[in-house]
């Protein structure tokens, strides 16, 4: 006898799922309806926020920061993960744990010394000053992620490539990377999201240069200036959140798989 | 759909290349591809340099600064562990850690309990459209915390949707500016965390439940187990690993909530919502106690480290 799920049970399941789905999206829908001024739809709040909040500039800054951080962190992580995942040399395990430890270092623990360090070398209020710490944080995740990928890559591929006389460099770029595109894409979307959403570092490092504010920092300043103009504030919040949400809708699998593996234990 | 959680990151969640036939056995002693290669250092070097300069160094520098009384301008004086003892003994600072503990209830315990309830209900049927539900439930995790904070500040405001709903159902007497209320500010902020983290716990547990063999449920039913016993005998033990991952991630989120506090309450009213993550910023830039701020930052790092190492051991009973 096979007890199957009853109709009642199925209904409960869906009811529960739907209730919590509604809870998850209710604030977002409320925000959207406020921003669009329902029940009298208009996009005035968006154009107003866009202009008064200088979001064209701030989104551009964020895009530049994200692009550079993602590119630099990905290349560095691929190189280091490749070596730690496929080669044997003294200290591979130790080096891996050094990188892994970075996953556990909260921004709160480094932001203050970072502020004084960057200021002393003149990198505060500059884009590189904001990018480099984020590249470092991303590398910590990236090395962990790419090493795991390279370890799981079929050994026979590497061997065959070496038999053909390919160098380790050629093997990496010609053989392993094309196969590893899904893993790399996951890493890229996660680093892009973390970098886009980063607030504390931007707040502290871009403390006086208004032209280089990122989108989240711009939003926080905008909130300070328009305390109770909620329609425009909600529009601004949507503008800042939208890029990541859009990417998420298309690549949700990569976001979820990557973020849930954040608490890894080997 | 592959379960998203594994011991190592789940690259199979993408489209892993089809596994080729197992490599032919090699004579003992032949050992490419992992043979010793010094060139490995060259590959690691660039990443290591950036990582050391912009993460490790600030961490060490922060630990060093935490041993001084320093206002950020003049010459600091040696404090030893004075800043740390102050963080523990000063009633204001002790309060921030108490607030953090309360927030752990809202960020971690409550979402996990709710998520458990949900999967208990759903554990035996495998609903369709799971990808859709998963995508929506997980959505709060990808929205910038700054945007979340701005949104909820309006939702909790005097004329926001929560008070609007209360007035609509005749409970207008309860309406208030939730984030400005000494009693309600901290739970209100906490509930934002609950909202954000439920999805994380749910998605984890959903994936875990899919992996529990159906036969276990059938066997439990044949034994005449009710829904409650079934939950404790089958579902809960089957989700231990997911529970430990969920608790670890959500507790850390509760400790690293500078964005939310800074943008919703700024620690107020009074210091009703002051948390350690906020004090790191506040003590550096508002009160000029840089050494103390660094000590608090290092303390947060130590707690995060302990949580990461400890929760799994506790929940999963690993040695």
The complex's ipTM works out to 0.91
Q: Chain A contacts of B161, Cβ < 8 Å?
A: 30
pLDDT for residue A264 is more than 60: no
Confidence of residue B124 (pLDDT cuts 50, 70, 90): low
- As given in the structure block, the two tokens for residue B114 are 């709710």
- Is B5 inside any structural domain? no
Mean pLDDT value across residues B174-181: 92
Q: Chain A contacts of B152, Cβ < 8 Å?
A: 27
Mutation site, B4, B5, B11, interface A, largest A CB count within 10 A = B11
Confidence of residue A167 (pLDDT cuts 50, 70, 90): confident
Mutation site, A65, A95, A113, interface B, largest B CB count within 10 A = A113
Q: Which domains can be identified in chain A, with CATH numbers?
A: 44-260 (1.10.3720.10)
Please give the Cα distance from A190 to A185 (Å, whole number): 9
- Asked if residues B271 and B95 have their Cβ atoms less than 8 Å apart, the reply is yes
Mean pLDDT value across residues B279-308: 94
Task: Indicate the range of A51-60, A92-101, B140-149, B202-211 predicted with least confidence.
Answer: B202-211
- Asked if residues B8 and A264 have their Cβ atoms less than 8 Å apart, the reply is yes
Determine the structural domain holding residue B61 and report its residue range. Answer: 39-316
- Is B30 inside any structural domain? no
Q: Chain B contacts of A3, Cβ < 8 Å?
A: 218, 221-222
Distance from CA of A33 to the nearest CA of B (A): 11
Mean pLDDT value across residues B70-76: 89
Helix (H, G, I), strand (E, B) or coil at B77: strand
pLDDT for residue A1 is more than 60: no
pLDDT for residue B284 is more than 90: yes
**Shortest CB distance from B154 goes to which of A136, A139, A230?**
A230
- Is B32 inside any structural domain? no
Measured between CA atoms, the residue of chain B closest to residue A91 is: B41
Mean pLDDT value across residues B165-186: 92
Q: For chain B, what is the mean pLDDT?
A: 85
- As given in the structure block, the two tokens for residue B264 are 């919703």
CATH of the domain at B184: 1.10.3720.10
Share of chain A above pLDDT 90, in %: 64
Higher pLDDT, B23 or A250: A250
**Shortest CB distance from B144 goes to which of A13, A186, A240?**
A240
- Is B26 inside any structural domain? no
Q: What is the pTM of this model?
A: 0.89
Confidence of residue B20 (pLDDT cuts 50, 70, 90): very low
pLDDT for residue B104 is more than 70: yes
Mean pLDDT value across residues A52-62: 95
**B59·A149 Cβ contact <8 A:** no
pLDDT for residue A266 is more than 50: no
- Tell me, what's the pLDDT at B216? 87
Q: State how far the alpha carbon of B136 is from the alpha carbons of A12, A28, A190, A247, B91, in Å.
A: 19, 11, 18, 14, 42
- Tell me, what's the pLDDT at B36? 65
Please give the Cα distance from A249 to B296 (Å, whole number): 38
- Is B299 inside any structural domain? yes
Please give the Cα distance from A233 to A241 (Å, whole number): 12
pLDDT for residue B15 is more than 50: no
pLDDT for residue B114 is more than 50: yes
- Tell me, what's the pLDDT at B298? 96
Q: State how far the alpha carbon of B109 is from the alpha carbons of A166, B246, B248, B250, in Å.
A: 53, 10, 11, 9
Q: Based on the structure, what is the number of domains in chain B?
A: 1
């Amino acid at each position: 006898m096979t007890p199957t799920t009853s109709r009642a049970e199925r209904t409960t399941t869906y009811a529960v799922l739907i209730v919590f789905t509604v809870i998850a999206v209710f604030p977002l829908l409320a925000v959207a309806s406020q921003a669009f001024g329902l029940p009298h739809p208009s996009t005035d709040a968006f154009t107003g926020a866009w202009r008064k909040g200088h979001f064209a500039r701030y989104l551009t800054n964020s895009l530049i920061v994200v692009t550079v951080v993602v590119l630099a962190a990905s290349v560095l992580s691929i190189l280091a993960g490749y070596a730690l995942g496929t080669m044997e040399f003294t200290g591979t395990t130790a080096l891996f744990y050094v990188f892994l430890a970075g996953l556990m270092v909260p921004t709160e623990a480094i932001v203050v010394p970072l502020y004084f360090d960057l200021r002393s070398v003149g990198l505060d209020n500059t884009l590189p000053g904001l990018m480099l710490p984020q590249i470092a944080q991303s590398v910590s995740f990236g090395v962990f992620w790419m090493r795991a990928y390279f370890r799981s890559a079929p050994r026979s591929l590497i061997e065959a490539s070496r038999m053909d006389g390919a160098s380790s460099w050629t093997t990496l770029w010609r053989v392993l990377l094309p196969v590893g595109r899904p893993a790399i894409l996951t890493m890229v979307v996660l680093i892009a999201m973390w970098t886009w959403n980063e607030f504390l570092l931007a707040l502290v490092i871009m403390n006086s240069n208004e032209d280089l504010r990122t989108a989240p920092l711009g939003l926080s300043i905008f909130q300070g200036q328009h305390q109770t103009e909620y329609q425009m504030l909600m529009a601004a919040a949507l503008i800042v959140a939208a890029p990541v949400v859009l990417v998420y809708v298309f690549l949700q699998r990569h976001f979820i798989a990557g973020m849930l593996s954040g608490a890894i234990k080997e | 759909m592959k379960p998203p959680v594994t011991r190592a990151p789940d690259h199979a969640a993408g489209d892993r290349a089809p596994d080729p036939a197992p490599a032919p056995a090699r004579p003992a002693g032949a050992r490419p591809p992992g043979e010793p290669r010094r060139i490995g250092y060259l590959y690691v070097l660039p990443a290591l340099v950036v990582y050391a300069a912009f993460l490790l160094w600030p961490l060490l520098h922060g630990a060093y600064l935490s041993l001084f009384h320093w206002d950020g301008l003049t010459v600091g004086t040696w404090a030893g562990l004075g800043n740390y003892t102050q963080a523990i003994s000063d009633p204001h600072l002790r309060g921030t850690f108490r607030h953090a503990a309360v927030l752990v209830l809202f960020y971690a315990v409550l979402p996990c309990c709710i998520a458990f309830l949900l999967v208990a209900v759903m554990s035996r049927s495998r609903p369709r459209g799971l990808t859709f539900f998963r995508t929506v439930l997980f959505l709060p995790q990808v929205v910038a915390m700054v945007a979340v904070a701005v949104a909820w500040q309006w939702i909790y405001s005097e004329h926001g949707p929560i008070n609007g709903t209360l007035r609509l159902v005749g409970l207008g007497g309860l309406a208030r500016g939730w984030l400005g209320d000494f009693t309600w500010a901290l739970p209100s902020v906490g509930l934002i965390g609950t909202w954000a983290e439920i999805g994380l716990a749910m998605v984890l547990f959903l994936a875990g439940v899919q992996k529990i063999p159906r036969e276990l449920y059938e066997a439990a039913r044949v034994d005449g187990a009710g829904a409650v016993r079934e939950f404790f005998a089958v579902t809960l033990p089957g989700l231990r690993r997911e529970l430990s991952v969920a608790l670890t991630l959500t507790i850390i989120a509760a400790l690293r909530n500078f964005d939310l506090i800074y943008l919703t309450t700024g620690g107020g009213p009074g210091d009703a919502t002051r948390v350690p993550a906020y004090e790191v910023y506040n003590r550096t830039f508002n009160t000029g106690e840089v050494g103390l701020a660094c000590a608090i930052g290092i303390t947060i790092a130590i707690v995060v480290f302990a949580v990461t190492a400890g929760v799994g051991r506790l929940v999963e009973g690993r040695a």
